[in-house]
Amino acid sequence: MIILDSILNSKFLPTLKVCISLKYSIGNRFSLSRLLFVVLRRSIYPSMRKLLLLAPVLFVLSCKSTAEKEENKKLNKLAEEYVRLGLTIGQYDGDFVDAYYGPDSLKPKQEAADDFPKDSLLASANELMNDLRSLAHTTTVDSNKIRANWMCDQLLAFSRRVRIYSEEYESFDEESKALFGVVAPVYDEDYFKSSIAELDSILPGKGNVNDRFQKLANKFAIPKDKLEPVMNAAIAEARKRTKSHYQLPANESFTLELVTKKPWSGYNWYKGNYKSLIQINTDNKIFIDRAIDVGSHESYPGHHVYNMLLEKNLYHDRGWVELSLYPLFSPQSLIAEGSANYGVELAFPGNDKVKFTKSVLLPLAGLDTAGVDTYFKALAIKGKLNYARNEAARGLINETMSRGKAISWLKKYCLMNDETAEKSIDFIRKYRSYVINYNYGQDLIKSYVEQNGGTAQTPNKRWDAFGKLLSEEVTPASLVKTK
Ligand SMILES: [Zn+2]
């Protein structure tokens, strides 16, 4: 509009007026561009020609950018509603909001009601989804389409979680599809038996595979008074490795805390402004490999880095307010847990885990290195058994497995000891189908990185593809497509 005003206010106006009268006198046979062409030919100001030739294009662009601005405004409003709704659900469901660092103005103004407002929460989620779907359908701006579709997927999870909170359940697969956007593959007992046979062939001693694994693992339990220095050393190394590939915000930092009486073994609480609180549960014995896991999974390049990249690139740089809320039971968790698990291999590829454990962590913990190569080999095979926990969760949620059967399954196929199996059942009871995010999520992330040229032979490409993935709104469906 500014461009047209400047033309109409110029000395050129009289000629333009003549032409406009001409257009009206001969009807609509002349288009606007034809009209301007006539104006140009009659013009006594040739220097204006360039500007006028561009005028129709600029006019269209100007209208387009006005429409885009309106659409962005509308999308930002919907994003604010999305955050408000998530925070309102979090007033009731204490596990729903994992992190929020957005403006206080989006926090609920009222105290939580006595009764859980299931119906009104579901209605709000539906209304928002409809608005976002229609925007996604009509927009011509790629980033707006991505945002709208991403929020729709997240909202579908909000609705499912609201129903779960109201004790309205579906099957394990239906639940994981709605909450995390995917259905994890099912593996039968034979699949796990082959990994157990593999372990049988490498573990020292004779007899029950789990007992032999526990005996080996116990050599690498970190003494309680050494936990903090060992964890800090592992995190420092993971941070150094990550920083050699990514430029992290200058003020980023984390605090490490040892806690007890939790259903999980470690947790990253992202506080915003590039700060994380990392908690390690010391209820059970903590083995040396867990230090590397905490170093990478909870912090670098895992949860801490993922949250920072989203905050920096999308929330601060692009103003996408929806990212300031991290709802735990949502597709975002598939990306978060999958990338955090994949990040361990990224930061400590190949034999690096063993090398670093031998040269730094075991001496710090005052433990001997004998048997550590076999231990890490066994852990790699045990990693494949991670899918067995999904089957225990599937059985418990679909009520096809009793608690007792699930415990013996976890001990047999996940090589858990009594205390970790009990803890795992507590975890499944609380987080339900969330367990698929760790293994299936990791496989999907790995496959995405490989599809983008990142392999063990091309480590830089691996870091690049991974960093890109952590800096965007990615839907699980798009990852399944690339697999
Ligand atoms: Zn995690």
For 415-455, write each residue's pLDDT tens digit.
998 888 998 999 999 999 999 999 999 999 999 999 999 99
**d(CA 53, ligand 1 centre) in Å:** 58
Cα 363 off chain centre by: 35
Look at strands 275-281 and 253-259 and give their pairing: parallel
Q: What's the token pair of residue 340?
A: 């955090």
Give domain status of residue 189, yes or no. no
Q: Tell me how far apart the alpha carbons of residues 173 and 169 are, in angstroms, rounded to a whole number.
A: 11
Give domain status of residue 181, yes or no. no
**d(CA 93, ligand 1 centre) in Å:** 20
**d(CA 437, ligand 1 centre) in Å:** 9
Write down the pLDDT at residue 405.
96
Cα 481 off chain centre by: 17
H-type alpha helices, 48-207:
49-92, 118-138, 142-165, 172-180, 189-202
Percent of the chain clearing pLDDT 70 (strictly above): 86
**d(CA 104, ligand 1 centre) in Å:** 26
**d(CA 303, ligand 1 centre) in Å:** 7
**d(CA 452, ligand 1 centre) in Å:** 24
**d(CA 8, ligand 1 centre) in Å:** 62
Both 56 and 75 in one domain: the answer is no
Give domain status of residue 173, yes or no. no
Q: Tell me how far apart the alpha carbons of residues 322 and 318 are, in angstroms, rounded to a whole number.
A: 11
Reply yes or no on whether the pLDDT at 38 is more than 70.
no
- pLDDT band at 64, cuts 50/70/90? low
Q: Mark which of 148, 168, 188 sits at the end of a domain.
A: 168
Q: What is the mean pLDDT of the chain?
A: 89
**d(CA 115, ligand 1 centre) in Å:** 32
Give domain status of residue 410, yes or no. yes
Reply yes or no on whether the pLDDT at 200 is more than 70.
yes
**d(CA 326, ligand 1 centre) in Å:** 13
Q: Tell me how far apart the alpha carbons of residues 453 and 464 are, in angstroms, rounded to a whole number.
A: 10
Write down the pLDDT at residue 265.
85
**d(CA 264, ligand 1 centre) in Å:** 9
Can you tell me which residue has the tokens 């007026």?
A: 17
Reply yes or no on whether the pLDDT at 16 is more than 50.
no
**d(CA 267, ligand 1 centre) in Å:** 6
Q: What's the token pair of residue 84?
A: 């408000």
Contact 462, 346 (CB under 8 A): yes
Contact 133, 148 (CB under 8 A): yes
Tens-place pLDDT, residues 326-376:
999 999 999 999 999 999 999 999 999 999 999 999 999 999 999 999 999
Q: Mark which of 62, 79, 105 sits at the end of a domain.
A: 62
**d(CA 84, ligand 1 centre) in Å:** 25
Phi, psi dihedral angles at 249 (to 5 degrees): -55, 140
C-alpha distances in Å from residue 208, one per residue of 188, 202, 373, 411: 21, 13, 21, 11
Give domain status of residue 218, yes or no. yes
**d(CA 5, ligand 1 centre) in Å:** 57
Write down the pLDDT at residue 53.
65
Q: Tell me how far apart the alpha carbons of residues 234 and 482 are, in angstroms, rounded to a whole number.
A: 33
Task: Provide the domain limits for residue 13.
Answer: 2-62
Both 146 and 50 in one domain: the answer is no
Both 325 and 465 in one domain: the answer is yes
Both 475 and 359 in one domain: the answer is yes
Beta-bridge mates of residue 221: 287
**d(CA 336, ligand 1 centre) in Å:** 7
Both 138 and 38 in one domain: the answer is no
Can you tell me which residue has the tokens 């293994």?
A: 439
Both 78 and 222 in one domain: the answer is no
Both 335 and 441 in one domain: the answer is yes
Reply yes or no on whether the pLDDT at 483 is more than 80.
no
Tens-place pLDDT, residues 145-191:
999 999 999 999 999 999 999 999 999 999 999 999 999 999 989 99
Write down the pLDDT at residue 8.
35
**d(CA 295, ligand 1 centre) in Å:** 12
Write down the pLDDT at residue 31.
44
User: How many distinct structural domains can be found in the chain?
Assistant: 3
Both 58 and 75 in one domain: the answer is no
- pLDDT band at 5, cuts 50/70/90? very low
Percent of the chain clearing pLDDT 90 (strictly above): 80
Tens-place pLDDT, residues 124-137:
999 999 999 999 99
Q: Mark which of 10, 40, 62 sits at the end of a domain.
A: 62
Give domain status of residue 442, yes or no. yes
Write down the pLDDT at residue 44.
45
54 membership: H or E segment, kind and range: helix 49-92
Give domain status of residue 429, yes or no. yes
Both 332 and 259 in one domain: the answer is yes
**d(CA 477, ligand 1 centre) in Å:** 20
Tens-place pLDDT, residues 336-349:
999 999 999 999 99
Helix (H, G, I), strand (E, B) or coil at 158: helix
Over residues 213-221, the mean pLDDT reads: 96
Give domain status of residue 20, yes or no. yes
Reply yes or no on whether the pLDDT at 3 is more than 50.
no
Q: What's the token pair of residue 182?
A: 């995917």
Q: What's the token pair of residue 156?
A: 């579908």
Both 436 and 308 in one domain: the answer is yes
**d(CA 268, ligand 1 centre) in Å:** 7
Both 407 and 447 in one domain: the answer is yes
Write down the pLDDT at residue 264.
87
**d(CA 294, ligand 1 centre) in Å:** 9
**d(CA 382, ligand 1 centre) in Å:** 18
Both 410 and 293 in one domain: the answer is yes
Contact 108, 89 (CB under 8 A): no
**d(CA 180, ligand 1 centre) in Å:** 14
Q: Tell me how far apart the alpha carbons of residues 53 and 112 are, in angstroms, rounded to a whole number.
A: 61
**d(CA 90, ligand 1 centre) in Å:** 20
Over residues 75-99, the mean pLDDT reads: 98
**d(CA 21, ligand 1 centre) in Å:** 71
Cα 103 off chain centre by: 21
